[in-house]
Structure 1
Amino acid sequence: MTDTTPRLVLIDGSSYLYRAFHALPPLSNDAGEPTGALFGVVNMLRATLKEKPDYVSFVVDAPGKTFRDDLYADYKANRPPMPDELRAQVQPMCDIVEALGMPILRVPGVEADDVIGTLAQQAAARGIEVTISTSDKDFAQLVGPHVHLVNTMSGSRMDSEQAVVDKFGVRPDQIVDYLALMGDAVDNVPGVTKCGPKTAAKWLGEYGSLDGVIENAPGIKGKIGENLREALDRLPLNRTLVTIKTDVALDSTPTDLGLRAPDTDALRVLYARYGFKQALRELEGGDAAADAQASAEVAGMRNTAAGHARSSTAAPEAPDPALAAPGEYECVTEPAQLEAWRTKLEAAGAFAFDCETDSLDPMRARLVGLSFAVSAGSACYVPLAHDYPGAPAQLGMDVVLDALRPVLADAGTGKIGQHGKYDLHVLRRHGVDVQGYADDTMLESFVLNATATRHDMDSLAQRYLGYETIKYADVAGKGAKAIPFSQVALDDATRYAAEDADVTLRLHQVLGPRLAEVPALEQVYRDIEMPLVRVLERIEANGVMIDGDELRRQSADLGKRMLAAQQKATELAGRSFNLDSPKQLGALLFDELGLPALVKTPKGQPSTNEEALEAIADQHELPRVILEYRGLNKLRNTYTEKLPEMVNPGTGRVHTSYHQAGAATGRLASSEPNLQNIPIRTDDGRRIRTAFVAPPGRRIVACDYSQIELRIMAHLSGDEGLVQAFASGADIHKATAAEVFGKAIDAVEPNERRAAKAINFGLMYGMSAFGLAKQLGVSRGEAQDYIALYFGRYPGVRDFMDRTRAQAREQGYVETVFGRRLYLEHIGARNQGLRAGAERAAINAPMQGTAADIIKRAMIDIHGWLEGHAERALTVLQVHDELVFEVDEGFVETLLDEVTRRMCRAAELRVPLVVDSGVGMNWEEAH
């Protein structure tokens, strides 16, 4: 194609309208009119116009039946009716398309796909280059020398036969047969049962076509062969239904579809009405980069923070579309190449880096290679330990690390990573102390919007760059056929590894500016999350000492008690059965014993989960025995048996991994092992903590914030009674009980304190009167009276809760004291259950999130102080609101004073922060 070749863009309007509706949150304008789908389509149209096509058409489905309905009465029969929120956006969409000057085509009796297919073939025959803008895979059957597909929302393209093969495993001329075999659940076209993409592609690769598959059906073995033979009669009809017609009689030809001059007056009114501020600025000529912005918004629009707001719908700035283009990567195996890249890194103000290793465990992983990127689209891979037969010679590890150590250790050169804590561990263990770790794209995404997407690189690249990354399985395989990265061929390894560094840099170039647009979020990122990376890396590397003998003793005891529970269960049942089989247990409880099935599975079957057993535990002894058995089994399998096996042979300690981008509220999580969930409400759970010990001459010190979320509630609500209760240092639950029950604090009875405690904590988690009644064992009316009394005594709490719900509905998010945001996807949902859940989260998130921010700030402060005392004390654990240290006996008092002071000053609230501390030979003694 030359610059003078005419171009036709055919827009699958129906596809994009539905795609945008389901992809974006339920946006609305100031008047409350839904705008989410409209917002997505308008941005797509602006990006299309930026390309200045010669001809263009916006094609939508006409109302009424099509010829496919006549062929197959159940065609699309299972499609739900169009949601009201979407239906309300159809006419505004058409109004904007008309005002933009784009021809709209609707042809009765056929689908939009058929109109597009006909125009595409006609145009291609005339030498016109055709771009079909769609997200519908069916159009892959049309791809050819002059017909290309582009998904404008994601930026992906299919512009050749090979691109279709790469995507689907079949050629464009086989797509119809491929679809016929698989069927289409959306259109209610039943395919061959259990025939997915891989099977369909395999059959077509072997037999060439659907006719070939049908002809060879008798010889295809197994259950899938039986399924194929059962479907033979309907496959020819399937093929007809999924074939896009290319011979529809149309009133318009491709060259009739020129753009008209836009109706700027109409656009001005429409953009203003629906709150499309960026589009309005573009229309008024106020943005010199408006064309680029239109494309960028499409690539990034699913991440718009304003997408969760009611009154603001403009998308944040997004990257230049060039950031979604493939990169050029170099494999560094010669000294001169290494020297050239060392020079580049030293000259760069910042660069992205990534490690390739042979293990996911950073405390055991062996370095296989390093990748670097200093500019978008340009990166290198330095292989160090690829050892497959015939592998090219590589630079020695010592040579490479010695050459790069100065720049990696230079704090003045910024380092950018994606989940870089892992890489910092690996390099430290290989003798390189990385300094200047300045940015982490996982954390940039997490702080920007914790709930918008997963925060792994593949997900971020797709969302923010419209870029499809090479997956690990693509180069190393998966399952039983997977090979270690050291066995991956250098060409493949370079494509994969260098892309990691390249995409990390590109993501930072997109996410960094977006964070900068919201100063409070950037401050959370800069002052809390990024400094915490180093803190967590240090805590993980410290590890914690485990008494394996103690755990083995506990495991033996748990095993004996499990056996006793099994025997008791057998006696109660009158026969033996498998306690670990939900099916056998369900038959016994509900069929034989006739107990009521009060809890159901999602499929409507009687459940035997913990909630279900608790619900009937007062009607028969067996459910309680099963619960006891399960509790013992969980402790044994999760902790007493597993923890000794997780001791690192090199350090003699257990090293958990902390996750910053896990819980949306900002709370840390841990894994391998998960030390956050050791139960402390039971003696057996607390006993496990006795196995977390200090070495000779040292002690375990535990420091725990006291009632921190209630204190944050007092701060956020400003309720005078609650603030005064904390300021006086009173037992907050007794003080609450005294207020609720109108008693002197000394006259409060234990059950009244218990009720007040349940209310205090229950309200933070959105507990209803029903839930409180169940917890306290009182009637629903009595529980409702308790809540009414509470709000009567603490009116500021009710005001805070009402204010927070209103803020969440208005903005789509709530904030912590420090400005961290939690977006609430379902806060405007029509489904009452979803909406109620979002409202509960809206109330709890500011407290839980602020608590998370406070302990993170304390950890950063404490870490800075401890760096000067590393030989005398280590932070070994963080669990919710608690920090655990291993300390020299003679340094305990100093540490207690410093840690307590720093934890208490981590936030300035209307009420004091209080820290409870303990000291012991093990964690349980100290807790």
Structure 2
Amino acid sequence: MPKLVLIDGSSYLFRAFHALPPLSNAAGEPTGALFGVVNMLRAHLKEAPDYLAFVVDASGPTFRDDLDPQYKANRPPMPDELRAQVEPMMQIVAAQGIPILRVSGVEADDVIGTLALQAANDGIDVVISTGDKDFAQLVRPGVQLVNTMSGSKLDTDESVVEKFGVHPGQIVDYLALMGDKVDNIPGVDKCGPKTAAKWLGEYGDLDAVIANADKVGGKIGENLRAALPRLPLNRQLATIKTDVALDEAPSDLALRERDVESLRTLYARYGFNQALKELDGGASASIAEKEPGAARGRGFTSAPSDLPAPVPDAALSAPGEYECVLERAQLDVWIAKLRAADEFAFDTETDALDPMRANLVGISFCVEPGRACYIPLAHDYPGAPAQLPRDATLDALRPLLSDPAKKKLGQHGKYDLHVLRRHGVDVAGYADDTLLESFVLEAGLQRHDMDSLAERHLGYETVKYEEVAGKGAKAIPFGHVALDDATRYAAEDADVTLRLHRVLKPKLEALPGQLSVYRDIEMPLVPVLERVEANGVLVDAAELRRQSADLSRRMLAAQQRATELAARSFNLDSPKQLGQLLFEELKLPALVKTPGGAPSTNEEALEAIADQHELPRVILEYRGLAKLRSTYTDKLPEMVNPETGRVHTSYHQAGAATGRLSSNDPNLQNIPIRTEDGRRIRRAFVAPQGRVLLACDYSQIELRIMAHLSEDAALLRAFESGADIHRATAAEVFGKPLDEVTSNERRAAKAINFGLMYGMGAFGLARQLGIPRGEAQDYIALYFSRYPGVRDFMERTRQQAKERGYVETVFGRRLYLPYIASRNQGQRAGAERAAINAPMQGTAADIIKRAMAAIDAWLAAHRDRALMILQVHDELVFECETGFLDTLLPEVRARMEGAAQLRAPLVVDAGTGANWDDAH
């Protein structure tokens, strides 16, 4: 059957602009939205539809403006950076030979709706490419919606009901009830998707809802009755016209011959290098971290401008052939294949997201793209076929998995290493991880999950977890998934992982600096982090409960004080009530606004007015206490693993673009260290009987890296002297002997030392020190006069970032800066600050990762006596036998201080104690 693709061009341009980074070409012209649209076009062209049209809004008013003069009246003007991409977008679409449609007096939606129904009536399958929910009203046999950015699809009545809770024929009424803030259509106040779907499910359509409005109780019933006069107009505005008089019929929309030379010129101008290769007959690949357990994320993100999404190679984007292994003879055949392969991909399926508690349900392997197997081990639904016994199967696989000479690869394989270790298999020879390959290549991107990687690098749409296991309340454990579906999903995990590796590996090999970061820093750290996470840390639950009780008492006292200050009771947790009290009743100035322009009550806003009234300070105190209680003192005891009696955090190597590790479940890196309450929480992290904790922390590592990179003689001298660096800096800046520096002068020097690394200017320094801006500017000028190498380094780094679009750490890790040439001054200034800070923060991250790998290797022979249990910023924490401390400390210090050779030598401070706070 012939196929027509109708592209909602206006929608995609806006969505791409807001969803993707603000990339730019070498000339500084914005390309982010353009990049997203071009990728979307290439995806549709790859499918070779019979008919295709790119539909955009025409300029001027439409019939909806006649119906309601306020329609879309509140829309802001198009941003300049987006406006600049409209014309090149249209040029590229035209050069591709794609018909462009724009009709005066109606919107693009109406043109699409008319063509869609005409084509369906003519026996042509219709795909509407859009992210706009309004089009759901058009779904019917022969008409489907596809969101190319997210990969989602609406193609049946059931799929629309699943997404919105109403049928396609009820979508217009659904939209009328909810209204649309973007289009300035006021609906029923406080009527959201669930309420609208509930009313339509109960009464059938909008007319029936209107007729039964008096039966709806409560405040929402009052709101409905107040909106009744407006609802018929809302329905008119939300209805897509399907009878627009058009010059083109669906059969007139065949693809025309493309203008290759124009495309070549446009792609070259805007830096779409992979699209250029495609024009010249080159082949390549598109992107996507397998999330822990069975679930996998999906998303669309653009690559940095010099690493654009490539065109999929046919061999790497074709469907795979997968085998379900149920017999021992099949298993033996696959073991032989794995032994014969140079490398193989593997993946586990489990019954939980927490790797420290997950049970193995099955395991998959792949030795060549397109051929993989799934070995189910614990599928227990009614009628499930007999499966190989888990222990015997793992015994058969153990020699292979534990062989360090056999190269294995995975996607977020740390999770799988945990699961297999829990089941008695210590994996060795873990050589490659596609999540980390992607992260090192494209650290600035948000998504490195397998689904996103497959979409970007392979042009391959993976099977979604919810497709085989359902979602929400209807989701079933993976062990209850039918084996045919489980095999299709699980074997694909291993298959796609191997395919991705075949694409990403040569990209890394083409960048020696990046390859070194991947091979020498990131990959060696995977098994180290797995061991640190498995070691866990002991917490004193009774101490935490005592702290929770104390925090609760102090929260109650803060609530009572706030009530006294307000002279009435109010909900301290309600931003709305707090805003009304502070800004309307107490008439305090609203110095900080929300993105929508309303007065903000966030921490910054309250700090800004805390000197004008006591209440904001009390609210800040209350919030701080509440956060500590909910995040740590109440939560940590609940997170103790019943099998180990310890708390096990999870570290993420791909969590921050600079390479810094992040932790979650629980996040142990955000415990406040500068407050007594934060330090009290650290006291609950304890050593077992007969053991102590050792905390080793790099001293002022980022300042030392600054001295190394800037080669400033005075700064290097300050470190070489071994003196207090902030006192030494104050002595330089204020021209005094060290012993005459005052505490305020040292405080100012410390603020400058750290502030400059984060791009702080005179305004920020003045606010931090509580001094006039002119005085702060004088401090900074004095600093640069004494440390001219630092000033030169900062200027040189900004310039290099603008020229190259990225900065690098000492070890070659790159951080791309898409905003560095932005026309928006705020975005550009932020990128310049990042350009200066990232090499220091990223180098510090690289150094501690190198130190962890070196220490872990030494600890291998002493794991019964000492464990590495925590990494927090520039600090490592160990648990060891009391009698082993004198051996451990010098070995750890030597490896931490030897992790990099800098012009300003690394120094490690260390402390010991029965708990983490005492060890500081």
One-letter amino acid of the counterpart of residue 464, structure 2: I
Whether the 8 Å contact between 1:317 and 1:514 is mirrored in structure 2 is no
Deviations 1:439-489 (A, max 9, x none): 33433333333342244455555665563653459836536x766555666
One-letter amino acid of the counterpart of residue 11, structure 2: S
One-letter amino acid of the counterpart of residue 478, structure 1: G
- State the distance in 2 between where 1:103 and 1:580 align: 54
Structure 1 pair 110/48, CA: closer, same or farther in 2 (3 Å)?
same
Whether the 8 Å contact between 2:851 and 2:899 is mirrored in structure 1 is yes
- State the distance in 2 between where 1:577 and 1:33 align: 51
Is 1:715 the equivalent of 2:713? no
Whether the 8 Å contact between 1:543 and 1:654 is mirrored in structure 2 is yes
1:478 to 451, 468, 472: 472
Whether the 8 Å contact between 1:155 and 1:324 is mirrored in structure 2 is no
- State the distance in 2 between where 1:555 and 1:196 align: 37
Q: Which piece of structure 1 moves more, 784-793 or 915-924?
A: 915-924
Q: Which piece of structure 1 moves more, 659-668 or 534-543?
A: 659-668
- State the distance in 2 between where 1:21 and 1:628 align: 40
- State the distance in 2 between where 1:19 and 1:498 align: 33
Which residue pairs with 1:912 in the alignment? 905
One-letter amino acid of the counterpart of residue 55, structure 2: V
One-letter amino acid of the counterpart of residue 670, structure 1: S
Structure 1 pair 487/544, CA: closer, same or farther in 2 (3 Å)?
same
1:851-862 superposed matches below 5 A: 851-862=844-855
Deviations 1:676-702 (A, max 9, x none): 233332445434444444445443322
1:424-439 superposed matches below 5 A: 424-439=417-432
Shift in Å, 1:796: 1.8
- State the distance in 2 between where 1:605 and 1:778 align: 29
Shift in Å, 1:711: 0.5
- State the distance in 1 between where 2:561 and 2:606 align: 16
One-letter amino acid of the counterpart of residue 674, structure 2: R
Whether the 8 Å contact between 2:24 and 2:822 is mirrored in structure 1 is no
Structure 1 pair 405/182, CA: closer, same or farther in 2 (3 Å)?
farther
Shift in Å, 1:863: 0.8
Which residue pairs with 2:808 in the alignment? 815
One-letter amino acid of the counterpart of residue 716, structure 2: V
2:18 to 19, 22, 26: 22
Deviations 1:392-420 (A, max 9, x none): 65443323322332333233444333333
Which residue pairs with 2:304 in the alignment? 306
Which residue pairs with 2:308 in the alignment? 315
2:110 to 96, 114, 127: 114
Which residue pairs with 2:771 in the alignment? 778
Deviations 1:632-688 (A, max 9, x none): 665555545554554444334333322222233222222333332333324454344
- State the distance in 1 between where 2:233 and 2:162 align: 27
- State the distance in 2 between where 1:257 and 1:723 align: 69
One-letter amino acid of the counterpart of residue 727, structure 2: K
- State the distance in 2 between where 1:587 and 1:237 align: 34
Structure 1 pair 762/383, CA: closer, same or farther in 2 (3 Å)?
same
Q: CA RMSD in A?
A: 4.3
Structure 1 pair 879/148, CA: closer, same or farther in 2 (3 Å)?
closer
1:792 to 785, 791, 804: 785
One-letter amino acid of the counterpart of residue 64, structure 2: R
- State the distance in 2 between where 1:131 and 1:775 align: 56
Q: SS at the partner of 2:694?
A: strand
One-letter amino acid of the counterpart of residue 400, structure 1: T
- State the distance in 2 between where 1:208 and 1:561 align: 53
Whether the 8 Å contact between 1:124 and 1:147 is mirrored in structure 2 is yes
Structure 1 pair 448/203, CA: closer, same or farther in 2 (3 Å)?
farther
Q: SS at the partner of 1:877?
A: strand
Which residue pairs with 1:839 in the alignment? 832
Alignment TM-score, normalising by the size of structure 1: 0.85
Alignment TM-score, normalising by the size of structure 2: 0.85
Which residue pairs with 2:86 in the alignment? 90
Structure 1 pair 832/332, CA: closer, same or farther in 2 (3 Å)?
same
Which residue pairs with 2:524 in the alignment? 531
Whether the 8 Å contact between 1:733 and 1:757 is mirrored in structure 2 is yes
Shift in Å, 1:707: 0.9
Which residue pairs with 2:29 in the alignment? 33
- State the distance in 2 between where 1:41 and 1:792 align: 49
Q: SS at the partner of 1:926?
A: coil
1:337-356 superposed matches below 5 A: 338-339=331-332, 341-356=334-349
Which residue pairs with 2:665 in the alignment? 672
One-letter amino acid of the counterpart of residue 57, structure 2: D
Shift in Å, 1:765: 1.9
Q: SS at the partner of 1:650?
A: coil
Which residue pairs with 2:294 in the alignment? none
Whether the 8 Å contact between 1:43 and 1:294 is mirrored in structure 2 is no
Structure 1 pair 136/732, CA: closer, same or farther in 2 (3 Å)?
same
1:309-388 superposed matches below 5 A: 315-320=308-313, 332-335=325-328, 338-339=331-332, 341-374=334-367, 381-387=374-380
1:403 to 392, 396, 415: 396
1:490-529 superposed matches below 5 A: 497-498=490-491, 500-501=493-494, 504-505=497-498, 507-529=500-522
Structure 1 pair 227/515, CA: closer, same or farther in 2 (3 Å)?
farther
Structure 1 pair 190/597, CA: closer, same or farther in 2 (3 Å)?
closer
Structure 1 pair 49/442, CA: closer, same or farther in 2 (3 Å)?
closer
Is 1:658 the equivalent of 2:651? yes
Q: SS at the partner of 2:667?
A: coil
1:218-367 superposed matches below 5 A: 234-283=230-279, 285=280, 287-289=281-283, 303-307=301-305, 315-320=308-313, 332-335=325-328, 338-339=331-332, 341-367=334-360
Structure 1 pair 432/170, CA: closer, same or farther in 2 (3 Å)?
same
Shift in Å, 1:844: 1.7
Structure 1 pair 793/105, CA: closer, same or farther in 2 (3 Å)?
same
Structure 1 pair 612/184, CA: closer, same or farther in 2 (3 Å)?
closer
Q: Which piece of structure 1 moves more, 217-226 or 25-34?
A: 217-226
- State the distance in 2 between where 1:442 and 1:822 align: 17
Is 1:769 the equivalent of 2:754? no
Shift in Å, 1:861: 1.0
Whether the 8 Å contact between 2:304 and 2:818 is mirrored in structure 1 is no
Structure 1 pair 571/745, CA: closer, same or farther in 2 (3 Å)?
same
Deviations 1:278-309 (A, max 9, x none): 444555x4x343xx76999xxx99645433xx
- State the distance in 2 between where 1:569 and 1:232 align: 42
Structure 1 pair 174/351, CA: closer, same or farther in 2 (3 Å)?
farther
Q: SS at the partner of 2:525?
A: helix
1:569-588 superposed matches below 5 A: none
Aligned residues: percent identity? Answer: 75
Deviations 1:777-834 (A, max 9, x none): 3222211111110011112212222233333444443322222233345444454444
Structure 1 pair 870/375, CA: closer, same or farther in 2 (3 Å)?
same
Which residue pairs with 1:74 in the alignment? 70
Whether the 8 Å contact between 1:451 and 1:822 is mirrored in structure 2 is yes
Structure 1 pair 171/345, CA: closer, same or farther in 2 (3 Å)?
farther
Q: SS at the partner of 1:878?
A: strand
Gaps of 5+ in 1: none
Whether the 8 Å contact between 2:345 and 2:409 is mirrored in structure 1 is yes
One-letter amino acid of the counterpart of residue 531, structure 2: R
Structure 1 pair 563/82, CA: closer, same or farther in 2 (3 Å)?
closer
How many residues align? The count is 910
Whether the 8 Å contact between 2:130 and 2:146 is mirrored in structure 1 is yes
Which residue pairs with 2:443 in the alignment? 450
Structure 1 pair 798/921, CA: closer, same or farther in 2 (3 Å)?
same
Deviations 1:48-101 (A, max 9, x none): 555555554443332222233333333333333233333333333334444444
Structure 1 pair 244/373, CA: closer, same or farther in 2 (3 Å)?
farther
Whether the 8 Å contact between 1:191 and 1:231 is mirrored in structure 2 is yes
Structure 1 pair 498/623, CA: closer, same or farther in 2 (3 Å)?
same
- State the distance in 1 between where 2:199 and 2:329 align: 50
